[in-house]
Structure 1
Amino acid sequence: MEATDPARAALVIPGGMFGPHAPLLMYAAEAARARAASVRPFSWSRPDEPRHLDPSARGPWVLADVTPALDRLAREWPAATPLLIGKSLGSYASVLAADRGLPAVWLTPVLTDPWVVDGLRRMTAPFLLVGGTADRMWDGDLARGLTPHTLEVEGADHGMHVPGRLASSAAVLGQVATAVEDFLDEAVWPSQRPVAR
């Protein structure tokens, strides 16, 4: 078991389609784990429900589902300021990050929803936004206006896939992993370098 730093913890919040171990989230979580963070994956209590919700109900639904998990993490790691790592639907937790002053990595955030954007605008801790130009929920100009920490991939869709052979999308996954590592090293835990494997 790898050593963990009691001041470092992360909560991994999935999107609406796949769980917290999907590749984008898995690599972001590994970046946190390599920097001695205790990483907790989160799963939706009713995974099919978000698809049937009116868009205006998604924010309150995510807030109600994620808050208890974040409270548990805070009790388990009282010395930590948790990092939130969220994909798509998980970005509705930007309100929680804003309210609690938490840093975050938002992968393919829903930048078309005022709930998410309001949370991002109110965030005081650093956050990374990752998206692609072929994702209808992404707005590169807005993202760059919200934070200096952005990765925009030309041609990438909401799953961060690009046209062509799968190796091209795998290369995008590598770009995202590097962006997360750099963000953690520069903005979240600058004194904590990766643990040697």
Structure 2
Amino acid sequence: MRHTAIVLPGGRYGPQAPLLMYAADAVEARGGSVRHVTWDPPYEPGAIPPDDVTSWVTAQVPPVDTRPLLIGKSLGTHAAVVAAEHRLPAVWLTPLLTVAPVVDALRRATAPALLVGGTADRFWDGDLARDLSPHVLEIDGADHGMYLPGPLAASAAVLGQVVTAVERFLDDVVWPGH
């Protein structure tokens, strides 16, 4: 069986940005295929009423006819609703753990999910993340973009930590023995 993944961007973080690009590369390195979602129309902060954001995001998730891995960043983590409904594994990068529909969906999820966030991200709650999943990577001092203050090399190292966590999650949890 060929592995597949659907990549869902953030509000201002496209599907080809580093965190999502390397997560998708990890899928492809394991022989999988990746489908990148681009918001249509492009996401404009404040243009969608807060109560409608989850339905706007989930409406843009391609039909699930296999058992793909969902990979989402920030805004894309509203697709946790789809993961919960279809029992899909997921990688949630900087999930919106302060947004009720996202948290509710993560609580309902039965498939494994990797949650990745930083302690300087106002949308992250490390205790809640560890309550929601045994698969958590928390980076001390990282913001919503997973950047650390100071030299960019430190933030590049964070990217390496995230990719390593994604690869381990794929190899040990989602597709063991792929």
Aligning the two structures, in what range does the TM-score lie when normalised by the shorter sequence?
Answer: over 0.9
> Is the Cα contact below 8 Å between 1:9 and 1:38 reproduced in 2?
yes
CA distance in 2, matches of 1:181, 1:64: 28
Report matched runs for 1:93-172 at 5 Å: 93-172=79-158
How does 1:20-59 map onto structure 2 within 5 Å?
A: 20-59=15-54
What CA distance in whole angstroms lies between the structure 2 residues aligned with 1:48 and 1:183?
29
Q: Which structure carries more helix by proportion?
A: 1
2:162 is matched with which residue: 176, 182, 189? 176
- Separation of aligned partners in 2, 1:65 and 1:42: 8
Shift of 1:50: 4.6
Count of residue pairs brought into register by the alignment: 178
Normalising by structure 1, we get a TM-score of 0.87
Residue of structure 1 in register with 2:175 after alignment: 189
* DSSP 3-state at the match of 1:95: helix
- Give 1:61-72 correspondences, 5 Å limit: 61-66=56-61, 69=62, 71=63
**TM-score scaled to structure 2, two decimals?**
0.96
Over aligned residue pairs, what C-alpha RMSD do you find? 1.1
Cα deviations by residue, 1:3-52 (Å, 9 ceiling, x for unpaired) = xxx43100000000021000000010011111111111110011134542
| Distance in 1 separating the partners of 2:87 and 2:33 | 19
Deviation at 1:60, TM superposition (A): 1.2
Indicate if the aligned counterparts of 1:98 and 1:123 stay in contact, CA closer than 8 A. Answer: yes
Correspondence for 2:10:
15
1:35-74 CA-partner distances (Å, limit 9, x unpaired): 11111111001113454223222111111222xx2x1x63
**What are the Cα deviations for residues 135-188 of structure 1, in whole angstroms up to 9, with x where unaligned?**
000000000000000000000000000001000000000000000000001110
**What secondary structure does 1:65 align onto?**
coil
Between the aligned residues of both structures, percent identity stands at 62
Bigger Cα Rg: 1
Q: Where do 4+ consecutive residues of structure 1 move more than 6 Å?
A: none
Does the 8 Å contact 2:89/2:174 carry over to 1? yes
Unaligned runs of 5+ in 1: 1-5, 75-79, 193-197
Question: What is the alpha-carbon distance in structure 1 between the residues aligned to residue 114 and residue 20 of structure 2?
Answer: 13
Alpha-carbon separation, structure 2, partners of 1:49 and 1:119: 24
Contact 2:2–2:31 under 8 Å retained in 1: no
